[in-house]
Amino acid sequence: MAATVFNVMVIFCAIKLFKRSGDTMHLFILNMTIGDLVLTIFCHPNELLIRKHDFLQQKHLCAVVHYFNWIGLAVSGLSLTLLNVDKLIYFRWPLNYDRSMSKRRAAIFCLSIWAVSIGFVSYCWLFNIVYIYDKDCSLQMSPSKKFYYEIFTMLFCVLPVTSSLIVSIYLFNLTRSKRNATNAGDPSALKNKKVLSQVKSLAFIFATTTWTSCSLLPYRIVNLARIHLFTWSELSCEGKQTMNWIAWVLVYLLTLNPIVNPLITSLIYAPYRLTIKKFLVNIPVGNRPLYSYQPDGLQSDSSFSSVRRNRNRRSSCTELASLRQSTEVRVVRISMSEPPVTPMKSDEFSFESQASSDKKLQAGSKC
């Protein structure tokens, strides 16, 4: 349930950030997260329920679960490859990036991933290349058609994840060299904010690629070794028991892959972390009203007295301002009509009274 919630939040953030920035990286993250969502919202819960309850071990239900399981794994693996290829083009051939990886081309790549994945898996199911074993609801293949499983494992799981790991390690070393050049005093290494943000995104890509490699590759490699290197019937009882333990550990590790991937995206990659944080902060908590409500026509004594106080203060300020303006006009008229004379005591009193009135007006203007 928590993995489904995080996958939905990552999808929401990817759509929002793609509309804001137009970076094709968010399209590939969106595509990869939708593939993980298919696994966490439908395949893995049904697999656990089928193993726990015998009445759910129906042939058609198991076929649907395995069908979408293959599609989710294929889409997630190929999208991870395109995510690394996108960053490789950006840092290796930056001048050709806008032409090589436009929004339209990235959208075509994402749709092509779904078309190839659905087409291959549907072909295997429609032509009975794979079938469901009735007793334990497991997926089986005839001995003459096992190469289809090998094609699926190599084409959609091993090769995409391995190539993504190689590209991610290369980009990680490239990032370290750029940061070392910046620390050494070369300001041209990371002179652009866009380049700096792309460099920071490589930490997220490296983390999610490393986790996918550690959780997905061991199970697929063990299955290929079981097909080609040894025969199950020739193993001893202890060997079969050991292989069962290893297989179950790798199965649960494979199950954790789409659960941890959205956590890595939402916690390590800063734009997604900040977007989710802003979304969670804006959610209203409890039943606190966003404003204070009072019925019409009902005022408390304190509110009425505060209104009267504000009105009296505004009226007094207006009267003092008008009094000051009339006094200044009168002084200007007197100075223009009468010649300057030596002030007498009465004049001194008038000037003192005028100065005192000016001080009062200044004190009143402060209010």
Q: Which domains does the chain have, with CATH numbers?
A: 2-213+259-277 (1.20.1070.10)
- Cα–Cα distance between 255 and 44 in angstroms, integer? 7
Sign of torsion over alpha carbons 351, 353, 354, 356 = positive
Q: What is the pLDDT of residues 62-116, one digit of tens each?
A: 999 999 999 999 999 999 999 999 988 888 888 888 888 889 999 999 999 999 9
Contact indicator for 258, 36 with CB cutoff of 8 Å: yes
Q: Is residue 130 helix, strand or coil? A: strand
How is 138-170 classified by DSSP, letter by letter? Answer: -EEE-GGGTHHHHHHHIIIIIHHHHHHHHHHHH
Ranges of residues in the chain with a pLDDT under 50 are 189-190, 288-311, 329, 331-335, 337-357, 359-367
For residues 51 and 137, give the distance between their C-alpha atoms in angstroms, rounded to a whole number: 9
- Structure confidence by residue, pLDDT tens digits, 237-280: 888 888 889 988 998 898 899 989 999 988 888 889 898 888 88
Give burial (CB, 10 Å; 0-12/13-18/19+) of 32: buried
Q: Which amino acid is at 248?
A: W
E strand or H helix that includes residue 251: helix 237-268
pTM metric for this prediction: 0.70
For the stretch 58-95, what's the b/e string if a residue is b when 16 or more beta carbons lie within 10 angstroms of its beta carbon? eeeebbebbbbbbbbbbbbbbbbbbbbbbbebbbeeee
Where does 152-274 show beta strands of DSSP type E? none
- 140 - beta bridge partners? 131
